[in-house]
Amino acid sequence: MTTLERIRNGETGILVIGNHPGIVQSILDFDHLAGKPASIVCIIASTRKAQKFFFGPKEILIPCYRSVADVPQKDTSRVKWMLNMQSGRRVYESTVVFFQRFPEALGGHLFAENIPEIHATELVKTHGQKYVIAGPSGVGLLVPGHMKLGAIGGIGAAQLVQGKLTTPGNIAVVSTSGGMTNELITAVAGAGKRVSFSLCIGGDRFPVTSLSDVLLMAQNDANTEGIVYFGELGGVDEYEIVELLKQGKLTKPILCYIAGVIDEAFDEHMQFGHAKALVAHLGESAREKREALASAGAIAPETFPQFLAAMRGLPESPRGDTVSDINVYMQRASSILSTRHIVDLDAVPEFVKNGALVPQEQNGFAAATLKALIGRDVSDVTAAFVENIFELLMDHGGHVSGAVNTMITARAGKDMVSSLAAGLLTIGPRFGGAVNEAARAWYEGAASKVSAKEFVENKTKEGKLLAGIGHRKYRVGIPDPRVAALAEFTKLLSAHPHYDFARAIEGVTTGKNGNLILNVDGVMAAVLLDILAEKEEMDTAALRELVDTEFFNALFIIPRSVGFIAHFMEQKKNDEGLFRLPDELLFERDEDRDAE
């Protein structure tokens, strides 16, 4: 099976050495457009454990490792290709190390230019025959619909779509020039053809995979029926084409353009863009090479417009292009923090799932916690209720203030205790403190014997909000399932005055606004007061003491600490570096600008 066949068969996993986010993102965009899984396996970068990219509209994290040796065994079988983005001086060593670690890999791409010639010639000698390696100094290797290795085809989604890169074709595109490789891919699509594969040999003097090897790949590829080649003055690569044509080893039609006739207008030969783009010996001029190609049987137009027109005469390509909405790729915006939900925020407690109390042995942590806080053993009902509270309060997503502070502190390089403390210090009247304040309201209201309407009016006159009331998502007619689930515990009680009072308050507030319903904080506080009064036989003085000592807040702090720690560990695992708000999210006052 040839290398191209193996690529089309799915052997496309890429290990990136160095860092070039734009190119990596373009590869992921190609994969998504082509309807295939992400091909980037990991990145070798010493400063991070993960980097954030998009796969289609969704963000993903690509794992990073300090060295090739650190890549875990579970990923080694996926790695088939190397994308080496390091500087010219470092490419040789990292390339050798890669193929030592992954001897069964298929090849790679060397992005840097001006690699020392002694390094390039050594790579040609030791790796050039065994592997397909594009470069040095190029844009990589492309097999439309299957693999994009490098900046080849462009790095913008619009370029990928314009080049019809998700549709496998029958025209091979080959060049030493990276820029012209991408231009030719677009030109082939504009001529109504589709690309079978494209490889940029590279503009340095000693490419690792030779032009002859690439042309023979095209000759032996059943999907390729024609070849488009762009060359330039300097060097003798084009005479490899001449020899293959003369020897009958290259029989498929090849369309060539050799740039640089303008060199004849100068008194002496000029150095153009690439290292070998200089006429140094007889036969290296653009005109001489063009004439030699035409004599050997290649199609070699004299002007570039003629070259573009001649593309239409190449064999017809299969069509069936995928229609892609590039707005998905153009309108993406990175999240400020990468995080996940630690628990299912829509989950309902185990009590409702099972239709009966969870067995006492499953509530061991809650029972032990309550014994520590209250000073004695508690009933099964109390333990079960608090167990469900712990499950509900463990996490409310990474966007809430306490989790954000925890994650920002972790990203600053601080330890677990410091990061947890940063999150816990956020807890107060506006975050997390509502449970205890709701308990205070229901306790005082039930004890005062005032009507719910009067209670609400008094709070309004005092300019105070009612803790435990209100929700942004749920409203009258769209109840919170978690509130309904916890309210089921009232069926185990002979009386529930605090819960009844809270519901009476809800009746008043929803008459003003449908979102002012009893929320999770409110129902937890109300039901737990009633459970403690009946099942633990606490009188009003004992309940008041629990409220005053912030017992109900403890039932928020304990499980949420677990959630904060989980967010801390996730940030340490991802290690995306110091957090910084994007400039566009900052509000700069006019007087601040004037002061500068």
With contact defined as beta carbons under 8 Å apart, do 507 and 456 qualify?
no
CA gap 4, 220 in Å, rounded? 10
Report, as residue numbers or ranges, the catalytic residues: 274
- The rounded radius of gyration (Å) of the Cα atoms in the chain is 34
User: What's the count of helices (H) and strands (E) in the chain, helices before strands?
Assistant: 25, 13
> What contacts 588, CB < 8 A, 6 or more positions away?
none
The per-residue DSSP string of 70-122 comes to: GS-HHHHTTEEEEEE-S-HHHHHHHHHHHHHH-TT--EEEE--S---HHHHHH
Distance of CA 424 to the CA centre of its chain: 29
Q: How many CB atoms lie within 10 A of CB 537?
A: 9
CA dihedral 378, 380, 384, 390 (to 10 degrees): 20
With contact defined as beta carbons under 8 Å apart, do 391 and 557 qualify?
no
- Which among 146, 150, 151 is positioned nearest to 169, based on CA atoms? 146
CA gap 44, 19 in Å, rounded? 8
Q: Which two tokens stand for residue 140?
A: 């990589």
- Biggest alpha carbon distance in the chain? 108
Using DSSP, state whether 172 is helix, strand or coil: strand
- Which among 200, 268, 264 is positioned nearest to 231, based on CA atoms? 200
